Structure 1
Amino acid sequence: MRKLLFWLLSLSWAVWASAQKLPHHDLLLFSLNQRPDSLWHPFAPRFLTAFNPAGYNNQPHFFSPYEVYLTVQLQPDTVQTDIYTLDLLLNTLTRVTATATPEYSPTRMPDGRHFSVVRVEADGSQRLWALPIDRSHGGYPLLPHLLNVGYHCWLRDTLLALFLVNEDNQHALAIAGLSGQLPRRVATTVGRCLQKTGDGRLSFVQKINGSTSYLKRYDPVRNTAETLVQLPPDTEDFALLPDGTYLVGDGSRLLQWQPRRQNTWVEIANLAPYGVKKISRIAISPDGRHMVVVVQ
């Protein structure tokens, strides 16, 4: 009965989510450099979403230093989301998916030939799919029996971290392989942001209550987690630079924290002069030279 109730709740949530107008977000691109005092400095802003000025533009992910994939819901659509790509050198926009079902969270896969998305299917299932970057075929489900995937992060070519949507709102962090073994739950009441560290561990957010959260790091080999630092209030999105620096948004302010060098978060920029009221997601290019922020 509990499984049936969960399936019905998941179906209701997915149908509601896929049939609603999503909130408007914009994307800003910044170049990045590091000053002698070790603080990172964003500069040379570019507005990326003039093509969809009142629509949903979100979940940016760098596939290369100058190519960004993102999730888009064009106005006046209130049903469909698709994946688009922005070429930052050629200033071109390309639609990548044009399916009958919404896709979210485009992520480059370790094989370099595919990318993964969360697809909300016709029956309300939220499954993880692999799609070819060259668009040579329609893709295939990666974990076909897992129906409540919210977000994901690749740790190795056959190992994933998953944010699983639960009916009691105690969303779980799980580790899953592609070889058929059952996902291993490692934490509950977690945030949606999952980031692989340079040494193959996973950074994630553990929520304590409505406004208090901690940044944690999980070791999939030892199956252990450690607390790193408390996050600013009401924060669950972060980004990780190649040198190990963490970035978060706090309202219009951009903050950084460097393990072993800083005890707390330090402001490095305020984006209010660009009309920004709130920073949510942050994406960093593989070379650490560019940053895309999702703003309202």
Structure 2
Amino acid sequence: MPRFPLALILFLLFQSQATLAQGGFDLWVVDTEGKGGKLKLLPDTGKALTDRPEYDNQPNFINDSELVFSAADEKGNHDIILYSFRTGNFTNFSKTPDRSEFSPTLTDCKQYISAVVMEPDSTQRLWLYPVSGEPAELLYDDIAPVGYYDWYDNRAAMFVLGEPNSLVYAWAKGNVPTLENNVGRSIKTRPKSDQVGYLAMDAQREGQNGKETGIRSYDLKRGTYNELGFTLSGSQDFIWVDKNHLLMARGEEVFVRKTSGSEWQSIGTLPSQSHHKITRMAYSPDLNKLVVVMQRKQQ
């Protein structure tokens, strides 16, 4: 696997330092009502969950009351932060001054928080952080540089940076086939299925508000591909609301689409005087809350 300079990896996979300097990123939370295609935001409930000039990003719910995300300190080092909706407290799940953690989430076995770790030599690999507090473990020593990933059957489907970027699945040591080449940064396992969804960058078209990219899935049991329509134009981050509905955002507005449909329907806008440009999102049907990443407006 070719090695890439640190600056290139950061630019392509996370956010460039120039973008961070424009205002940083914060987490916002808004209550929702309804389910699936009838999901709606309750805009009046929207509020900032974090409010710092640094980078707070890549949220994921790990249970019915807790969220993990990647947060930068004043020196630019990123740790895993845990937030409890029950107590309102933030806790450092990791505190590693010699490396940075990105894209934390809970593993299928629920014994670990996984994360893409930028190691001291700038290698990016997938690590496991035991919820018991024991030392972190390197999972795949021969797969790098990993940018994004999700879990299926206790194994990881991973976006690996290269020429082109590829989607691989780690069946076993030495058995890591490429499922697709030229993929985008959203890798999300489809709920209650054997499919991993991703952006197929070879399937693009011009939309009214920018490029639309094909959303595709690979069925890991059947070995088949499924076409799931196109992204919201001008957007590249999607999540699953349930097995049949996708969520994306543009500006401060959030949209839902059924996989069998073609039209994205607005579910509401999250107004803010200080932030804009929703990107990544995390949804909890248990809490009826949507957490979004918004960029701080440049002063």
Above 0.5 in TM-score? yes
Change (3 A) 1:275 1:107: same
Aligned-partner residue type, residue 238 of structure 2? F
Q: Match for residue 65 of structure 2?
A: 66
> Kindly tell me: are residues 250 and 62 of structure 1, through their superposed partners in 2, closer, same or farther at Cα, counting changes over 3 Å?
same
| Kept after mapping to 2: 8 A contact 1:195/1:239 | yes
Structure 1 residue 293 and structure 2 residue 287: aligned?
no
2:120 alignment counterpart: 122
User: Scaled by the length of structure 1, what TM-score is found?
Assistant: 0.86
| 2:173 match | 180
Distance 2:254 2:15 in 1: 31
CA contact (8 A) 2:275 2:294 kept: yes
Secondary structure of 1:54 counterpart? coil
What is the identity percentage for the equivalent residue pairs of Structure 1 and Structure 2? 23
Q: Output aligned runs, 1:19-34, within 5 Å.
A: 20=17, 23=20, 24-34=24-34
How far 1:188 sits from its partner (Å)? 1.8
Q: Structure 1, residues 233-268: CA drift from partner, whole Å, max 9, x if none?
A: 2321111113532110012211100134x4311111
Distance 1:14 1:277, change over 3 A: closer
- 1 CA distance for matches of 2:161 and 2:282? 23
Compute the TM-score of the two structures, normalised by the length of structure 2.
0.86
- Amino acid of the structure 1 residue aligned with 2:69: L
Distance 1:12 1:34, change over 3 A: closer
Q: Does 1:94 align with 2:95?
A: no
Offset, 1:286: 5.6
Q: Mind listing any 5+ residue stretches in structure 2 that lack a counterpart? A: 205-209
Structure 1 contact 242–287 (Cα < 8 Å) conserved: no
- Structure 1 stretches of 4+ with a deviation exceeding 4 A read 14-22, 273-276
Match of 1:161 among 157, 160, 163: 157
* Structure 1 unaligned regions, length at least 5: none
TM-superposed CA distance for 1:20, in Å, is 4.8
Cα pair 1:218 1:225 within 8 Å, conserved: yes
The answer (yes or no) to whether the contact 2:58–2:104 under 8 Å persists in 1 is: yes
Q: Distance in 1 between matches of 2:174 and 2:40?
A: 44
Aligned CA-pair RMSD: 2.4
User: What letter corresponds to residue 109 of structure 2 in structure 1?
Assistant: D
**Which residue pairs with 2:207 in the alignment?**
none
Q: Deviations over 1:91-114 (max 9, x none)?
A: 101011111111111110111111
Alpha carbons 1:110, 1:156 under 8 Å: kept? yes
CA distance in 2, matches of 1:64, 1:15: 29
Q: Does 1:191 align with 2:189?
A: no
Count of aligned residue pairs for this structure pair = 280
Match for 2:8: what amino acid? W
